[in-house]
A and B are shown apart, each in its own frame.
Chain A
């Protein structure tokens, strides 16, 4: 069984799981964990979109 993902969905899934681990391991209280995990997720996704646009600009 193999799986095919688009580049964007692969990046979002990556961001989701990595953010959970970062949130749990880098903060001490539950509230801080949730906030930091959400922060990391947003940074991952925004960074992915920004990098995509940067590459588009370089290409054109």
Chain B
């Protein structure tokens, strides 16, 4: 009877902070898939990188909008948070002044959503890299 309680208690204990548990998610955020690649999960890393980068680039090509920091409409603020999840892709896009958004194109709205979702997927990917780093996932 006491064993499940012991297991639960051991699961609740904080994981030790290792260098990899900090570097992997940070690098994974900055470069999509890199958090997996640095831990030698080559297949997963390359697939994540290809998927997230392709979605982001397609969003730009569809003339989607890239949100800048703002304190206006709540949806604009959430859009910025989602876009920021793309890490290095977002930084490069803002630096190059891409992603102004074409309001005259119906499909440009798809581009905006592609960009936001690629950022959100990159955050999931970075969290997954952290789980691998702490040994929670093989």
B-contacting residues of A (Cβ < 8 Å)?
1-5, 7, 10, 13-14, 17-18, 20-22, 24-25, 28-29
Contacts and interface: CB of A to CB of B under 8 A. Distances in A.
A20 B47 contact: yes
A17 B51 contact: yes
B55 interface: yes
A45 B112 CA distance: 20
A24 B48 contact: yes
**Most chain B Cβ neighbours within 10 Å, of A3, A4, A22:** A3
B137 interface: yes
Which of A7, A17, A20, A28 has the largest number of chain B CB atoms within 10 A? A17
Contact of A17 (B54, B63, B110): B54
A5 B62 CA distance: 8
Chain B: interface residue count, which band? 20 to 34
Interface of B: 44, 47-48, 51-52, 54-55, 58, 61-63, 102, 105, 107, 110, 113-114, 117-118, 121, 124-125, 127-128, 137-138
Contacts of B125: 21, 24-25
B128 A5 contact: no
B62 A10 contact: yes
Contact of A5 (B44, B107, B117, B124): B107
29 contacts: A2-B61, A2-B63, A2-B105, A3-B61, A3-B62, A10-B62, A10-B110, A10-B114, A13-B58, A14-B113, A14-B114, A14-B117, A17-B51, A17-B55, A17-B121, A18-B55, A18-B117, A20-B47, A20-B48, A21-B52, A21-B121, A21-B125, A24-B44, A24-B47, A24-B125, A25-B124, A25-B127, A28-B138, A29-B138
